[in-house]
Structure 1
């Protein structure tokens, strides 16, 4: 193909790993992928200077030979930048307002209360800067407390009593600005502010009643008003029932349960006005009561699932994001994978310590000769103290990501344990993990 005919696809925060995943999509040779604002600026920086970030993105796009699509797979603020930039370049896009309903957990619960109250837990918005946080609280202990705008369980705490509540509020108050300030900056771009709640901002907290059960993620898209769920991925948690252990595809949930989740997804996405966007949506199924609980909505594909789909279906679901951004209805997934079951495993350490050994590149490559589908992301270096790692949940430290496939779920878990034994991470202290 003449390269002048290629579609120019700009990817916010593009890194080498996701570039490789993008290149697995069907007809990848018809696309030229370009980075739009670098990875370090968009992923885990100390702050998000949105005016400068958007100015840099606009300059890159203005100097491009063509702009056919703009996509992104990172959380806020990437997801909120997409509708702003797409609107400015006349590209297919969801409304900014529908995306902000997903970004702000408090607003999302308000929408759930209106559209799907039967699967919306008890919740309350709270001001972290209040002079009387205890007097403001109307939730009974225990509950979850988190900022309205954040990701990866950042500043999320289980609260069992008043002392924990006050300590968590103090921690959130000192750090909530990291996401609150860019959220309030992006809010100024809303073309229909009246469509959003008139209370709560990026600096709001949310208290939520505890929900539990078997967790899964619906992967889907909305195209010209049609809501399509093309995959459901099970999320397994560690023994603390908080930290993720693995994501596995396909789901083992009963068909009837999955269909009910899809119906709820359709209802709430129509309620918030979402269109022309991929999404992923997390639900709990409480098996004992047969109750479904909506956990959250993300207006993007899950990047954590990209290699899973590549292993199990033959292509990353970046393909969905590209098609939707180009205004096309996706044709995904296809049964072209190497294994019928695939998973992402997240080896974790439950306790602070120093890393004394990480696997070598040669050691990983030797494992990949035995397991050609294997992808390993090492998240730590020798000498790292785990408590200094960024973007961890409040109860564990994730040291790597392991993507593998197998013929059955038991074989998948056996393969994971074998791989971790060979990788042989070591620490200065004896600490519990989720893999030995």
Structure 2
């Protein structure tokens, strides 16, 4: 497919890509002929790669990555990985003098309690009542909590352990962890905690859960980037839930959110991100249009691209978010990148889940996959088969088992 605008084509400097898998692995590999890359990191969801969690030290990782970058000639860094990648990329960019998101801005976005405190100062109308849960992991639940309430980790990813709870007993049951679960939780958070103590100590520990007032309303995701301190909007994606749950069923683009509310969401995002010193890089703001007040209410800020949406923007707008990330990693404004002819008027990311812990999920065989791809030649399909023990952990931490994701485009929502 030909580009609509064609700036001079040239091979770029090499970029260090951290913690790349799933969408990122596919998209960054596709761009490698034009954007040379050096890979580093590991997959948290695959054994034996994830065994490295046992001894992972984020500062040592960045020091070794910087050495590899010098040896192999990399001059930029990117990562869309929420747990370790975004912070590692910020630390490495700072260490090497490359373009990158400031370390303190990444910490402020990923420390969900501190982000609420900043939001209360700069956009209180977009905030919700919140508090730290004054209990250690697995500790006794204090009294005086108004139910229902929404509980989530101060530092987490992929909605792990985020849940609406309706009573003291419900919250108590949700926060019971076995020795292995406690080990995993602490090792996931501790790399962030070490940097937090050095660079943003007044935020308080990230080894904690927090409570928020539950919200009702349509959920959305604002995507954008900053270059040289200036905000650039990309778009808004609609999030559709499985009925009666907080679990994503699909994501639709373009959004049906009315224009004035889009502008309001952008204003809130810019005020917050400027307040935390976010001057460079892609970001994603999840928010709700609150049924009760009609206001935009922020769920959270993510200091990196929402990789799952990259394909949706490519189909509908002809823009390549992964190439935008590489451009920003080299200090370039993504506005200079080529735009391709769109292939669809709308696109969706369908998320397949099981809500029955005892259900046996059958993955499609070779014939089924061949038939699917013959009917939908440009579709994307990801499968996530897991062992029974892994499925049970998904139900504990996420409330469901996500076993597949499919992307399709069409002329319109009814196509």
Q: TM-score range by the shorter chain?
A: 0.7 to 0.9
Paired residue for 1:347, among 342, 348, 352? 352
Q: Does 1:228 align with 2:232?
A: yes
Q: Does 1:45 align with 2:45?
A: no
Pairing of 1:127-276 with structure 2 (within 5 A): 127-129=134-136, 133-135=140-142, 138-171=144-177, 174=182, 176-187=185-196, 190=198, 193=199, 196=200, 198-276=202-280
2:414 counterpart SS class: helix
The structural deviation recorded for 1:41 is 8.2
Counterpart CA distance in 2 for 1:392 and 1:67 is 41
Partner of 2:97: 90
Check the 8 A contact 1:354/1:385 in 2, yes or no. no
Partner of 2:379: 374
Partner of 2:19: 13
Partner of 2:70: 62
Partner of 1:337: 342
Counterpart CA distance in 2 for 1:386 and 1:184 is 26
Check the 8 A contact 2:215/2:288 in 1, yes or no. yes
Partner of 1:415: none
Q: Does 1:281 align with 2:318?
A: no
Counterpart CA distance in 1 for 2:205 and 2:83 is 14
Counterpart CA distance in 1 for 2:378 and 2:396 is 27
Q: CA RMSD for the aligned pairs?
A: 2.8
Counterpart CA distance in 2 for 1:171 and 1:134 is 13
Counterpart CA distance in 1 for 2:265 and 2:225 is 14
Check the 8 A contact 1:306/1:317 in 2, yes or no. yes
Partner of 2:3: none
Partner of 1:100: 107
Partner of 2:316: 312
TM normalised by structure 1 equals 0.83
Partner of 1:432: none
Counterpart CA distance in 1 for 2:361 and 2:212 is 39
| Cα deviation 1:39-83 (Å, max 9, x = unaligned) | 35899936361255335423422321x112110111121111111
Structure 2: segments with no counterpart, 5+ residues:
1-8
| Cα deviation 1:203-244 (Å, max 9, x = unaligned) | 122111101211111110111111121111111111123000
Q: Taking CA–CA contacts closer than 8 Å with sequence separation of 6 or more, which of the two structures ends up with the larger relative contact order?
A: 2
Counterpart CA distance in 2 for 1:376 and 1:227 is 33
The structural deviation recorded for 1:287 is 4.3
The structural deviation recorded for 1:17 is 4.6
Counterpart CA distance in 1 for 2:101 and 2:395 is 28
1:410 counterpart SS class: coil
| Cα deviation 1:307-347 (Å, max 9, x = unaligned) | 22232233431122112111111127946221110111101
